[in-house]
Structure 1
């Protein structure tokens, strides 16, 4: 079933029930829409796109902050037969332009936050963009754009009579983060549909669940986790902001049952608990049944601390890539807390294997590249056949991640191929060293990178972010590291804030640029 058809079914079956809630604690705002309105608004936007000449296979850039309008617009593009291309809200103007150079969109849908960036490259965007659709306060609508309310005014709220096949192209998601040239991952309607079933199989959402969504919707991770609720017509809350008190208040007042957190947000909640900054007794949290984490390696001690605070919570961690239609190609699985630290086993309808450089399967305990296979594997990188051939071989997606299996079949992530540190001929996993340092009670976050060294090639360098009010010296950190094998111990330590992107991943290129100074022999 197409996900657009799932929306139609929800609109019929749960017409006046709440589908989406938007909470903006910064301005004390709360808005909601029903499944019927969600369905109708998607139809109105689809019909408006078709009326202005958008045809099946055309591309539509979608550049918005999380909002109540985000998902109806997304589904509207899908229903028009066009291909939706959500853009990272951190993309600067030149990356917005580079993205459009790849997809050659005919329409750009954007919010007020992006007017200045668009204006900076509008001349280049005009090469393909025929319609600029602005969604936000009408008074801020630029002269070159049409206001969204005017664009859809008078359009039919019935579904467009357009034939769409499961194997048709549906979406283009960009992988590059905030810098560098982006690659566009091409996903089909089948990919999106499969993600709904994967998430629902893993986390057992029912119509009574309520999913609290905090990460940006442009990313496959947030949206594809929401898909589990979407499949059964369960509501979701879009929370703007991740402050611990905002999260807990939203869980309490909206009676959220499932929350997907990034590592920094979970840490912030635990620190607020440790410091007594929040009275947890003020909130109604008993209904919160599942906390799961993805997007980056999860320190085992974080989950152990979490389970002390919330002993009744089920826990899962999810592994995935944009190229696998988001999370779930591997997951730990509910009840497997004895394997915390592992990224789990292949998810619903997925296969996984650890291979060497010759593509031969490796036995348990031997690190190699993780490859995955399943209905969520992308069609390819849009207009990039070389990168596609490198990533997709015989139906298998080569992830670029180094991992190994244990004797029970659980997979443990070692690191990204490109992030492994080779120091004096020895391979060091930054993730292993990061997890080690996260055991220190004064450390809030840590990143480990390799920095150039004339004698050893690279040395292990740790950037440490301390918890508020905590102190630590270089010497204390060095003494703490004595439990590590000598070649894994950081030879250089910095105390600084750890930069993470909108999906929680450590921005290691920024740290390499900041600290990658060649040391004398």
Structure 2
């Protein structure tokens, strides 16, 4: 089943239903479909064809959604890029894509200034007097009816780029089949239904943003577009619209809960919440339970490459747990030896690398233009995630870090996630990230970067807390504490550990 057909079915099923809300403007499924057809027809006249790549350098807007569906109807590939990337990474991505067309807006125009492509793409601007064609001209030049081109299930529909926290971003093409199955699993695992209204905080260049939107579109639900997430925009949106579900990064939940403008009564209307992309501290989990009082609270562990690895819907009993494999997945935890095979599983309680079964219909087939990285990541029919995990006696999975984040201090290995988990329980620790910093004697020392709630908290106090907790060996306790106002994050909200490793006082 291809995405264009799913959208056409939704528009025919509930044409009068509200599909998109942006500010005080709403679009029905019928009106959205007409707008999509106009843009698809105009893009076809400009020469966009099946398998051509179309880059979106835009914030979350109605135009972003319209462009997404227009590209699907053409059989082309939608490539939304994170415009917050470092200029060098963004240039690499655009050169890698070799786009037929780039759609941009005033806020992202500078990112294109110095990029020279061998074949110049068509530049479409949301703003007048810019680009080769304006968005307004696309809409005026198209017709409200357009027949989708024939599309195969295995044709690429979307290409997302990884966040690049452990190297340069990599292109991940996803087929119509994988995006269809991933969206259906998103609906089932989060228990969404046709009455739901999604608060679209996650950017549409992220797999969480794409699948949050697609879940609503498949169900004829409502999706609220927020292009600039501020306390004011959140407060206004929640005041005027009865939001029922939210799927976001932990940092976004923290932002909402710390806002003084958001009415807590409005948060209690949000019945289904889920998070992914980074660990959520126990303190934040319990605060979410207290403030939102949700019917569903899900930890979704997955990646750009494979949408779902595991899910956990019993966070009250096991806060921070990644849970069990998703409905389309098998997951194992294998030894950390470089040559480890899928059969080299570790015992419960031992740390190993998480691997996921590539036969899952949610899986990608390989990285764009990077067969070398594909060979490293996919072995013996399994995807080696690079994540460190361990199972408890019940078989539930916990993620404790990344293989490239392991701190080798002297002869000992330290898992940053384990140390962070202990420190997060200190009442004065708001956030913490643990890394290994270079040391002349030990090679690396365990260093904790702490965002504290109280300025008077001291390294001695935190070390005593770790000692009394009893879960950390002496070599695992941080030898250095650095107090910071905030942790460095990328555009997806993940902590950029490289910046902390290179931090100097």
* Aligned 8 A contact 2:248 2:275 in 1: yes
1:131 to 105, 111, 122: 122
2:284 to 290, 296, 302: 302
The alignment status of 1:500 with 2:489, answered yes or no, reads yes
In structure 2, the residue corresponding to 1:69 is in which secondary structure?
A: helix
The alignment status of 1:71 with 2:87, answered yes or no, reads no
Once the two structures are superposed, what CA deviation does each residue of 1:167-203 show, in whole Å capped at 9, x if it has no partner?
1112221114389533111111111111111101101
* Aligned 8 A contact 2:164 2:170 in 1: no
Task: Name the residue aligned to 1:177.
Answer: 164
Task: Name the residue aligned to 2:444.
Answer: 458
**Correspondences of 1:363-512 after superposition (within 5 Å):** 363-373=347-357, 374-467=360-453, 470-483=455-468, 484-496=472-484, 497-512=486-501
Once the two structures are superposed, what CA deviation does each residue of 1:431-481 show, in whole Å capped at 9, x if it has no partner?
1222222222222221111001122121111111123x6432333333333
* Aligned 8 A contact 1:31 1:68 in 2: no
Taking the aligned partners of 1:252 and 1:151, their CA distance within structure 2 comes to: 34
* Aligned 8 A contact 1:63 1:110 in 2: yes
* Aligned 8 A contact 2:35 2:66 in 1: yes
Taking the aligned partners of 2:166 and 2:328, their CA distance within structure 1 comes to: 34
* Aligned 8 A contact 1:41 1:72 in 2: yes
Stretch deviating more after TM superposition (203-212 or 348-357): 348-357
Deviation, 1:509, is 1.2
Stretch deviating more after TM superposition (210-219 or 475-484): 475-484
Task: Name the residue aligned to 2:26.
Answer: 32
- Unpaired runs of 5+ residues, structure 1, are 24-29
In structure 1, the residue corresponding to 2:356 is in which secondary structure?
A: strand
- Unpaired runs of 5+ residues, structure 2, are none
**Correspondences of 1:182-221 after superposition (within 5 Å):** 182-221=169-208
Taking the aligned partners of 1:193 and 1:449, their CA distance within structure 2 comes to: 38
* Aligned 8 A contact 1:251 1:257 in 2: no
Task: Name the residue aligned to 2:51.
Answer: 57
**Correspondences of 1:254-333 after superposition (within 5 Å):** 254-271=241-258, 277=260, 280=263, 283-324=265-306, 326=307, 328-333=308-313
The alignment status of 1:231 with 2:213, answered yes or no, reads no
Pick closer, same or farther for the CA change 1:91–1:311 going to 2, 3 Å. Answer: closer
* Aligned 8 A contact 1:196 1:230 in 2: no
In structure 2, the residue corresponding to 1:381 is in which secondary structure?
A: coil
Pick closer, same or farther for the CA change 1:501–1:454 going to 2, 3 Å. Answer: same
* Aligned 8 A contact 2:83 2:111 in 1: no
Taking the aligned partners of 2:493 and 2:234, their CA distance within structure 1 comes to: 16
**Correspondences of 1:328-347 after superposition (within 5 Å):** 328-333=308-313, 335=314, 337-347=316-326
Taking the aligned partners of 2:20 and 2:262, their CA distance within structure 1 comes to: 28
In structure 1, the residue corresponding to 2:364 is in which secondary structure?
A: coil
CA RMSD of aligned residues (A): 2.2
Pick closer, same or farther for the CA change 1:471–1:69 going to 2, 3 Å. Answer: farther
Stretch deviating more after TM superposition (408-417 or 429-438): 429-438
Task: Name the residue aligned to 1:26.
Answer: none
Pick closer, same or farther for the CA change 1:251–1:395 going to 2, 3 Å. Answer: farther
Taking the aligned partners of 1:390 and 1:19, their CA distance within structure 2 comes to: 41
* Aligned 8 A contact 2:190 2:274 in 1: no
Taking the aligned partners of 1:442 and 1:376, their CA distance within structure 2 comes to: 40
The alignment status of 1:153 with 2:153, answered yes or no, reads no
